[in-house]
Amino acid sequence: MNRNPNVANDNLVNRRWFCLTPAVLAIGLHTILLTSSIYHELGFNLSIYSSASLISWLVSIQIIFASIKRPVEVIAIVMFPLTAAALLVEWTSDSTNILSSTFSSGMQSHIMVSLIAYSLLMLGAIQALALAYQHHAIKKHKPTGLVKKLPPLHDMESLLFQILDFGFLFFTASLISGFLIFDDLFAQHLIHKTVLAIIGWVTLLILLIGRHISGWRGLTAVRWSIVSFCFLVVAYFGSKFVLEVML
């Protein structure tokens, strides 16, 4: 018996939103809690834990919007528990790093663009890990129930590079705005962040050029995208961890 494809698609959409509706409600609660923790009478609290919670919140919102058109459920399966964990750690920590609310509009724009870039590349890293898992399962001829429900490899790779393209644009804008706003990016207390961020940007650029010229895909794309994100993680969270947690 032939099934109506329109009915099948409608059922898929209904199941997707049935699963995502609790996530939307959770993000609403996260928004309230995040606002109360970040806004401070002296400025904005962007401690390592508040920053992690804010970035995970941004990633979760991107997943919700992407789910309207794209099959991103596997990213949600990984990201939503991480978001909950980040929020829990933030609320059980008393770490603070207050940034003045009198920052210029340029500085505020730089911070926002940087956070969006970070969240997009984190989204890309999770997608890359899902792609690697799918590759491994198919190669071993042991596709599990989760792998069977994933889109084809071509679609997974296409989604990965769409995320990375947007992430690269915001990453580039973040670096450019940083060089325009700060005149001491290569000072002793910032040089490690600057160098690591540039290395991460160059790594991502090489991947995108390799994709365009040589058709890089599969595990090659996975490795380069994860390496780029790792440089970004160390650049942003490395010094924060040392200053706010270890010292």
Tell me which of 206 and 18 has the higher pLDDT.
Answer: 206
Residue 19's pLDDT is 67
Mean pLDDT of 52-56: 92
pLDDT tens sequence across 142-170: 666 677 777 888 888 999 999 999 999 99
Banded model confidence at residue 230, pLDDT cuts 50, 70, 90: very high
- The CA-based angle 82-132-200, given to 5 degrees, is 70
- 133: number of Cβ within 10 Å: 16
Residue 99's pLDDT is 74
- Range from 2-11, 20-29, 98-107, 117-126 carrying the lowest mean pLDDT: 2-11
Banded model confidence at residue 124, pLDDT cuts 50, 70, 90: very high
Residue 16's pLDDT is 66
Residue 128's pLDDT is 94
Mean pLDDT of 91-109: 76
* 3-state SS record for the chain: CCCCHHHHHHHHHHHHHHHHHHHHHHHHHHHHHHHHHHEECCEEECCHHHHHHHHHHHHHHHHHHHCCCCCCHHHHHHHHHHHHHHHHHHHCCCCCCEEECCCCHHHHHHHHHHHHHHHHHHHHHHHHHHHHHHHHHHHCCCCCHHHHHCCCHHHHHHHHHHHHHHHHHHHHHHHHHHHHHCCCCCCCCCHHHHHHHHHHHHHHHHHHHHHHHHCCCHHHHHHHHHHHHHHHHHHHHHHHHHHHHHC
Residue 2's pLDDT is 47
- Range from 49-53, 99-103, 181-185 carrying the lowest mean pLDDT: 99-103
Calpha distance 222→130 (Å, rounded): 9
Is the pLDDT assigned to residue 7 strictly greater than 50? Answer: no
Tell me which of 185 and 79 has the higher pLDDT.
Answer: 79
Residue 40's pLDDT is 74
